[in-house]
Structure 1
């Protein structure tokens, strides 16, 4: 029985089929389908749905306005063979996150594609850029717009857009868009259909403006997503750089931060901030070898709204780019400079250890001392340095390509 029931288990990441539909023929074209990276927030940590064979959960969106088609298909259901076993409510889980107004009929959805010509990007245009498409043999134009809830129809559009977060950000949650401190930045592609100019949704970023006493704000990036069909093309860097430049023009902005940034976001931020800072006078090649300075920190903050911690990483990347690492003396000087920063947490632990000596029992003191073993510290420090070096080199290679 257990073996037979196991046949009715489906991997929900495989079962969920997502599309951005431009043309009616895209609906049946498997080449336009993409799948989630995560589905645990709806279907549990094992990301499995029980009760179906050949399960397919279709979530198709029109490319621009994200008008939604939602259908559940399967070849057989467990109740058709076993009376006493109930299948999971896979449809109900999806209905929890997609807003009302979706279609369940393919023909109705295809007829709605004709209205895509009426869709125009929300908000104000703040940046335009082009990327060469090798397959099409032409440059594709993209636009970045800043929007807010005053834009007619944006609230409903955003509700559809944010459903993608559940599939591609591991700890995603929906935001309270009624708070007027939110800023929204949207990326669109311009494309032609029968001689008509249309727009496709590429990705977006949400930024919350925190108050900083007495008269400043601190924009904090909350969510950022480039949709899978557009990933790896440089849109994330274009979006983040555009957002930075947008806030740099405001004297009210203290600095720009991010909420719980992922590893990929940190890499992207490093690339963008280095690109922005490399032309600042305080980061010139002749000054990099004098060490990280207050001039660097203050110029990065004043001109680009970059905080001191991020400015320090920028300095280390630019200094590595300027350093001849085949020269043993220069390489050693660079290594010591980076390790000096990495050693900060260990120095803090040592200060805390000194304070503990006055209040801990001998056996507790021994336990803490073992955690601060000098040899272990050296090994961890070297491992941390090598990891940082590899990250920095990848950024420098990307800068060279750019």
Structure 2
């Protein structure tokens, strides 16, 4: 459970420092998260999961000082996310050493979880019994099935669009967004009083004692930016599939459903994302390529002729995809349509991609030309050393290989659809 921060046997540490080092705990290990459907889940370690991050609460070191055997329990009912919060430990530093204070772990957690949680198992069991009354918020916009090998059957999932006018949704969202702190590195809470926010929620339907209940799977928030004179640009802000459901395809279902939702709106210019992570970019590559592959302008014949304005126009008009994303989709689908074992076709593809990637390097060359006219010889030599052409070519090749590696993964995933 607890891990040392540094080696307590390290030379130079006093006896007291060595002892105190034993009271440092890795908060990513100490925090125990759980989505509870059945009473037996509470004591089932296999249903527990840990955060990826805790630095926003416990600092860059992600360490809590002052405890041995520290456990920070955050248990949620699967649907309504009714919460049990409890801190427990075997030993606290205050009991052993004078004038040494343990971190106030409880206060730190209380700052990010909304009021209304319980602290005892019996109270949580009472909340769990009320799950039968929980129903998803908003209106259903998509339903899909995924075969679950463990259960040996297809599981039904539903995606809903909700807003703050839905009774109980504001309080539910306050509980749901606490997961952001543990799984999105630079997460922050949004201003829910701003009516430009849209909320999309994924739920699993499951059976408990013959009754259909719903479990929270994940969600997405989208902000509708105004674009002069009469358009909006929906921008994905937050997207999270909860850990027990990751790797099952829910992210792709959610993103595609949300994209299709905005496509039906004549006022939508295009759909974008705010500061997307690498994982989100991979997901978007797959979803947009899947959507575009059936457009006439993205046929194999057209792809091999090169990127065109026709692709930009059709992707924007029919799927609300902007030029930058349309170009990336083109490169992915052209890779799939190209026989890379043919030297001539492979070379044509490579040159086409590098022609786009070379833009920043050409800018550097133009800057070098300006410097030749303006700088003294010794200053020019110094700058030339910083903009070495050989290095640029190596970086360009590295960028190309890295990009094609990403594209190949997307092509492989498309083949599995």
Given the two structures, how large is their TM-score scaled by the length of structure 2?
A: 0.95
Give the aligned partner of residue 342 of structure 1: 357
Match among 24, 36, 48 for residue 9 of structure 1: 24
Describe the SS at the equivalent of 2:333.
Answer: helix
Which secondary structure does the structure 1 equivalent of 2:49 belong to?
A: coil
Report Cα offsets for 1:181-231 as digits up to 9, x if no partner: 000000000001001110000000000000101110000000000000000
Could you tell me how far apart the structure 2 residues matched to 1:364 and 1:39 are?
47
Partner of 1:259: 274
Higher alpha-carbon deviation: 364-373 or 167-176? 364-373
- 1:29-108 alignment runs, 5 A limit: 29-108=44-123
> For residues 277-335 of structure 1, what are the alpha-carbon distances to aligned partners after superposition, in whole Å with 9 as ceiling and x for unaligned?
00000000111111000000110011101111111110011111011111010000010
- Note the C-alpha offset of 1:344: 1.1
Separation in 2 of the partners of 1:366 and 1:60?
63
**2:319 counterpart residue number:** 304
* SS class of match (2:103): coil
Could you give the per-residue CA deviations for residues 228-257 of structure 1, whole angstroms, max 9, x where no partner exists? Answer: 000000000000000000000011011111
1:322-341 correspondence to structure 2 within 5 Å: 322-341=337-356
- Please name the residue that 1:150 is paired with: 165
- Quote the RMSD (CA, aligned, Å): 1.0
Specify whether residues 158 and 359 from structure 1 end up closer, same or farther in structure 2 by C-alpha distance, changes over 3 A only. Answer: farther
Q: Does 1:245 align with 2:227?
A: no
Residues 319 and 2 (structure 1), Cα distance of their counterparts in 2 relative to 1, 3 Å cut = same
Structure 2 match to 1:223: 238
Relative distance call for 1:356 and 1:179 in structure 2 (3 A) is farther
Unaligned runs of 5+ in 1: none
For residues 252 and 181 of structure 1, the distance between their equivalents in structure 2, rounded to whole angstroms, comes to 14
2:142 aligned partner: 127
User: Following the alignment from structure 2 to structure 1, what is the Cα–Cα distance between the partners of residues 190 and 372?
Assistant: 46
387-396 or 354-363: bigger deviation: 354-363
The Cα of 1:365 is off from its aligned counterpart by: 3.3
The whole-number CA distance in structure 1 between the counterparts of 2:371 and 2:189 is 43
Residue 6 of structure 2: aligned partner: none
1:109-258 alignment, distance < 5 Å? 109-258=124-273
Of the three residues 395, 398, 411, the one matched with 1:380 is 395
> How far has the Cα of 1:369 moved from its partner?
2.3
- Decide whether aligned partners of structure 1 residues 360 and 90 sit closer, same or farther in structure 2, where only a CA change above 3 A counts: farther
Q: What is the number of residues matched between the two proteins?
A: 402
1:292 corresponds in structure 2 to 307
Alpha-carbon distance change, 362 to 155 in structure 1, aligned in 2, over 3 angstroms = farther
In the alignment, structure 1 residue 397 sits paired with structure 2 residue 394? no
Gaps of 5+ in 2: 1-15
Q: Secondary structure at the match of 1:93?
A: helix
Provide the secondary structure at the position in 2 that maps to 1:319.
helix
Q: TM-score, normalised by structure 1?
A: 0.98
- Matches of 1:285 and 1:368 in 2, distance apart? 45
Instruction: Please state how far the C-alpha of 1:401 moved relative to its aligned partner.
Output: 1.2
> Once the 2 structures are TM-superposed, how far is the Cα of residue 345 of structure 1 from its aligned partner?
1.2
TM-superposed CA distance for 1:2, in Å, is 1.0
